[in-house]
C-alpha cells in the first residue's frame, strides 16, 4: 500500500544526536501530560527510550485508550497500530504516526477490496452466512470493520484459539486473514489437520481453489505472512541446537508450522518477554522474533544467553522507518499547532471495527470503557 510521507526538513535530517535529543526533550516538556508516546517492541532503541509505554500493538492501543489526560498520542509503530489506537481512543484524542511510510507488509497483504471479492466468491459457492470472518490484530481498520459488520471478530496471537473456537460455535467455517501461519498454527492446536485447511490466494481467480475445496475446508487461510517471522527455518533450529545443546527455542506463532512444531515454546510477543524474564540465570534461549526485541531482551538479562534464531538478523524494515528525526518533527509540529501525520479512521469504519474488537474483548473478559463512546 502506497502512503505519502513528506520529506523531512534539513533541520531534522542534518541534526546531530544531541540536537535531536534537545528538540525531543523540549517538545515533551512543552506538551507535558497532553502527550503520550507509545513504542512497539520492534522499534529501535533510539525511539524506545522516549516511549511512555512499550508493548505489542493491542497493549499499546489499550494504554492509549486508558489515558484520558493526553490529547496527543504519538504511536511509534506502524499504520494499522495507529489506526487501532484511533478506534479505541476518545474523539478528542488524536493519534499521530511519525512516518506515514511505516506500514506492515503482512497487513498490506489483505485489503478491503480483496476481502470483499473473496466474500462474494464464497457467497457464489456456499452459504456465506455460515462463514465467520476473523481478522488478526495486524490488519487495517477497514478489515476489522468488515469482520465486525459480518458477524466476526478480531484476534491477537494470545487469544486466537479462544476466538476461533467461538467462531466455529457460530458457523461451519472460518475465513482467517491476513496471516495464514497464525491461523494454521492455532487450528492445529485445536486438533485440526491439513485436510481441514485451504489457502486462499487473493491474486488468483476464486483464490486458486475449486468449489469443492471451499465446501470441504473448515479453515480458509489467507495467503499472507510476516516477512520477519517467515524467515525462521527448521535448519536454524538445528544449527542453534548443535551449538547449544541445552538451548530453549522460543518462537512467535507467526512462524511457519514446521518451525513451530520444532520449538519448545510458542507464544505472543508479550508471552516471549514473560518467559525470558522468568528463565533462570544461565539459561540459553534462541528467540524467533524481531531482532530489536531480541537484542533488548539480551541487554536486559546479561546473566542469560539470548540469541536470535536467524543468523542473518532481519529487522522489521517498515517498523525501522520510525527514527528520532521523524519523532522530533512530529512533536515539534504538535507544539507549533500544525500537527502532521494524524491517523483518523472514518466514523463508520471505526464503529464496526469497535464492534469486532468488543466481541474479542468480551471473549477474553477484558472490557474497556473506551469502546463505549
Other CB atoms within 10 Å distance of the CB of residue 75: 31
Q: Where are the beta strands (DSSP E) in the chain?
A: 35-40, 53-55, 72-76, 94-96, 131-136, 153-155, 173-177, 197-200, 219-222, 248-251, 265-266, 284-288, 305-308, 342-343
What pLDDT is recorded for position 365? Answer: 63
pLDDT (0 to 100) of residue 373: 24
353 within 8 A of 145, measured Cβ to Cβ: yes
* Separation CA 252–CA 147 (nearest Å): 24
Q: Whole-model pTM?
A: 0.90
Q: Which letter, b or e, does each residue of 5-41 get, where b requires 16 or more Cβ atoms within 10 Å of its Cβ?
A: eeebeeebeebeeeebbebbeebbeebeeebbbbbbb
Q: Residue 120: what pLDDT?
A: 98
Domains and CATH numbers, the chain: 10-105+319-340 (3.40.50.10800), 107-222 (3.40.50.10800), 229-308 (3.40.50.10800)
**CB-based contacts of 221, cutoff 8 Å, min separation 6:** 176, 177, 180, 183, 184, 197, 198, 199, 200
> What pLDDT score does 227 carry?
84
For residue 37, what are the β-bridge partners? Answer: 74
Mode of pairing for the β-strands spanning 72-76 and 94-96: parallel
CA distance 38 to 75: 5
Q: How far apart are CA 266 and CA 8, in angstroms?
A: 40
Distance CA(121)–CA(358), nearest Å, equals 28
Q: 10 Å Cβ neighbour count for 108?
A: 19
Cell 485447511 identifies what position? Answer: 197
Task: State the cell numbers at 62.
Answer: 489499550
Which residues, 6+ apart, have CB-to-CB distance to 283 below 8 Å? 248, 304, 305
In 10 A of CB 279, how many CB atoms?
18
Q: Which three cell numbers stand for residue 289?
A: 522474533
Q: What is the mean pLDDT of each run of 10 residues along the chain (373 residues)?
A: 76 97 98 95 90 88 86 94 93 95 87 97 97 96 98 94 97 97 97 98 98 98 92 95 96 96 95 96 95 92 95 67 95 97 96 94 60 28
pLDDT of 370: 34
Residue of 66, 254, 78, 250 lying closest to 160 (CA atoms): 254
Q: Counting beta carbons within 10 angstroms of the beta carbon of residue 92, is it exposed (0 to 12), middle (13 to 18) or buried (19 or more)?
A: exposed
CA dihedral 352, 355, 356, 358 (to 10 degrees): 150
Query: What pLDDT score does 203 carry?
Result: 97
Strands 342-343 and 94-96: antiparallel
Q: How far is CA 322 from CA 163, 266, 273, 335, in A?
A: 32, 28, 22, 19
**Distance (Å, whole) CA 332 – CA 171:** 50
Q: What pLDDT is attached to residue 35?
A: 97
Handedness of CA 254, 255, 258, 261 (dihedral sign): negative
Amino acid at each position: 500500500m502506497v502512503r505519502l510521507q513528506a520529506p523531512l526538513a534539513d533541520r531534522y535530517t542534518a541534526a546531530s544526536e544531541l540536537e535531536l535529543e534537545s528538540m525531543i526533550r523540549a517538545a515533551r516538556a512543552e506538551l507535558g501530560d497532553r502527550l503520550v508516546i507509545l513504542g512497539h517492541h520492534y522499534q529501535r532503541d533510539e525511539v524506545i527510550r522516549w516511549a511512555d509505554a512499550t508493548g505489542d500493538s493491542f497493549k499499546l492501543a489499550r494504554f492509549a485508550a486508558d489515558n484520558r489526560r493526553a490529547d496527543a498520542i504519538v504511536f511509534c509503530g506502524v499504520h494499522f497500530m495507529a489506526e487501532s489506537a484511533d478506534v479505541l481512543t476518545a474523539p478528542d484524542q488524536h493519534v499521530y504516526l511519525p512516518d506515514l511510510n511505516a506500514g506492515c507488509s503482512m497487513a498490506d497483504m489483505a485489503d478491503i477490496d480483496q476481502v470483499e471479492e473473496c466474500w462474494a466468491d464464497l457467497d457464489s459457492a456456499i452459504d456465506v452466512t455460515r462463514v465467520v470472518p476473523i481478522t488478526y490484530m495486524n490488519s487495517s481498520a477497514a478489515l476489522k470493520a468488515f469482520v465486525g459488520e459480518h458477524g466476526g471478530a478480531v484476534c491477537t496471537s494470545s487469544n486466537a484459539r479462544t476466538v476461533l473456537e467461538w467462531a466455529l460455535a457460530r458457523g461451519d467455517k472460518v475465513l482467517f486473514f491476513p496471516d495464514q501461519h497464525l491461523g494454521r498454527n492455532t487450528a492445529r492446536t485445536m486438533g485440526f489437520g491439513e485436510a481441514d485447511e485451504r489457502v486462499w490466494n487473493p491474486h488468483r481467480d476464486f483464490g486458486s481453489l475449486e468449489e469443492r475445496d471451499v465446501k470441504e475446508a473448515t479453515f480458509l487461510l489467507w495467503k499472507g505472512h510476516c516477512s520477519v517471522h517467515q524467515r525462521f527455518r527448521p535448519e536454524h533450529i538445528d544449527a542453534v541446537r548443535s551449538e547449544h545443546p541445552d538451548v530453549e527455542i522460543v518462537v512467535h506463532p507467526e512462524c511457519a508450522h514446521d518451525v513451530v512444531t520444532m520449538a519448545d515454546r510458542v507464544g505472543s510477543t508479550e508471552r516471549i518477554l514473560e518467559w525470558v524474564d522468568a528463565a533462570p540465570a544461565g539459561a540459553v534461549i534462541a528467540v524467533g522474533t524481531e531482532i530489536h526485541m531480541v537484542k533488548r531482551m539480551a541487554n536486559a538479562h546479561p546473566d542469560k544467553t539470548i540469541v536470535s534464531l536467524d543468523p542473518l538478523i532481519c529487522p522489521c524494515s517498515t517498523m525501522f522507518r520510525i527514527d528520532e528525526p521523524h519523532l522530533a518533527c512530529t512533536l515539534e509540529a504538535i507544539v507549533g499547532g500544525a500537527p502532521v501525520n494524524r491517523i483518523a479512521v472514518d466514523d463508520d469504519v471505526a464503529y464496526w471495527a469497535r464492534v469486532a474488537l468488543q466481541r474479542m474483548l468480551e471473549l477474553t473478559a477484558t472490557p474497556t470503557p473506551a469502546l463505549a463512546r
